[in-house]
Amino acid sequence: MRTFNRYYTNLIGLLDRGYLESQHSLTEARILFELSLGKINASEIMDRIRIDKSYLSRVLKKFEKDKLIIKSKSGKDARASQIGLTEKGKVELKALNTLADKQLEELLKDLSATEIKQLVLNMKSIMDILDQKSASRNR
Amino acid sequence: MRTFNRYYTNLIGLLDRGYLESQHSLTEARILFELSLGKINASEIMDRIRIDKSYLSRVLKKFEKDKLIIKSKSGKDARASQIGLTEKGKVELKALNTLADKQLEELLKDLSATEIKQLVLNMKSIMDILDQKSASRNR
DNA sequence: GCAAATGGTTGACTTAGTCAACTATTTGAA
DNA sequence: TTCAAATAGTTGACTAAGTCAACCATTTGC
């Protein structure tokens, strides 16, 4: 277990760097990403990513100010509002993805196509294993 | 590439949580870990992990105040000092590892031994591929 | 019908990290 | 051999990311 530990510590360190150059934190990027999957409200975002509600509220406020999202009254619950990406928001997310891709490319550029394929497969398999686990926890 | 991207974003989010409960940031933990490998000076730490030198200086100052490390004059270079873990520092690192292990265990507890083995192998293989790459860059 | 739960906001704060300027020492080329 | 540039580390001032607690409005469920 100790070994795995060390691997993931290094891995996080390595991958974390990726978001340095962008205008958004990793958390902000994840929020944008969740919003791209369809209109949701703030607490649905909180169900998906671990984030303090006050912080989320401020991030969303900033996104709204920057016209990346629009909030609309939810018909059902007057406390909540449905949040959706604007066109500008979609463009921003796309740019963010492109940037992340480029940085990833930089990180991987000395690898062969085969090695990269291997890497993706490994990453996928990790996520599958962990996904499976968190699914079973919520049962 | 976009797929990989999403996987690693989620993965970082997932693994990052691990360090929340400890008294140290992930970066601090990595510094302690590097120090456990033998006496080194500050710039050698900077060779190993990406960190601002002013921040590193402050972290080390804090570690010294907390008696986790001791600095001793390097014989060769009067600007640098050799840094080593104290007994207390070693205990701290051990505790940190134990905590991380426990959190990892929690994260993995619904997985079978086989699945965990699989996960470790995947993680290892990712690190090997990336290590190989960063080694070749410095040639 | 009302207490507790939920969705969200705000103020005050902490932690992690960055940037630039600086001192002291060492290195390397003229 | 000397002196300009490089290196090791420190400090002050700052920003970014995130947390904590108190709060208001609305909804849920006994």
Closest nt to B51 (CA→C1')? C17
**Hey, are the CB atoms on B101 and A11 less than 8 Å from each other?**
no
Tell me the shortest Cα–Cα distance from B131 to chain A, in angstroms: 10
CA angle (B59 as vertex; B57, B64 as ends), nearest 5:
95
Q: How far apart are CA B96 and CA A6, in angstroms?
A: 12
The structure tokens listed for B90 are: 């070693």
C26 C1' – B85 CA distance, angstroms?
A: 27
Nucleotides of D under 7 A from a protein CB: 7-13, 16-22, 25-28
Computed on alpha carbons and rounded to an integer, the radius of gyration of chain A in Å comes to 18
Please indicate whether residue A38 or residue A114 has the higher confidence score (pLDDT): A38
Each residue's pLDDT tens digit, A67-86: 999 999 877 899 999 999 99
D27 C1' – A92 CA distance, angstroms?
A: 35
> Residue type for A10, please?
N
Alpha helices in A80-112 (DSSP H): 87-108
Which residues lie below 8 Å from residue B65, measured CB to CB, with a gap of 6+? Answer: none
Q: What is the pLDDT of residue A62?
A: 94
Q: What is the pLDDT of residue A55?
A: 96
D3 C1' – B138 CA distance, angstroms?
A: 32
> Residue type for A78, please?
A
**Hey, are the CB atoms on B13 and A3 less than 8 Å from each other?**
no
Q: How far apart are CA A85 and CA A97, in angstroms?
A: 15
Q: Confirm whether any atom of chain C, the nucleic acid strand, is less than 7 Å from CB of A72.
A: no
Question: Under DSSP, is residue B70 helix (H, G, I), strand (E, B) or coil?
Answer: strand
Q: Would you say B10 and B25 are in contact if contact means Cβ atoms under 8 Å apart?
A: no
B123 closest CA partner among A107, A7, A129, A111: A7
Each residue's pLDDT tens digit, B116-135: 566 566 555 655 555 554 44
Q: Confirm whether any atom of chain C, the nucleic acid strand, is less than 7 Å from CB of B66.
A: no
Q: Average per-residue pLDDT in chain A?
A: 75
**Hey, are the CB atoms on B4 and A123 less than 8 Å from each other?**
yes
C21 C1' – B53 CA distance, angstroms?
A: 14
**Hey, are the CB atoms on B15 and A12 less than 8 Å from each other?**
yes
Q: Confirm whether any atom of chain C, the nucleic acid strand, is less than 7 Å from CB of A62.
A: no
A14, A126, A136 ranked by CB distance to B123: nearest: A126
User: Between B26-36 and A2-16, two packed helices, what is the crossing angle to 10 degrees?
Assistant: 120
**Hey, are the CB atoms on B49 and A3 less than 8 Å from each other?**
no
**Lowest-pLDDT choice from A55-59, A70-74, B68-72, B107-111:** B107-111
B98 contact residues in A (CB cutoff 8 A): none
Q: How far apart are CA B86 and CA B89, in angstroms?
A: 5
Q: Please state the rounded mean pLDDT for residues B56-78.
A: 91
> Residue type for B65, please?
K
Model confidence, pTM: 0.74
Neighbours of A25 (CB within 10 A): 12
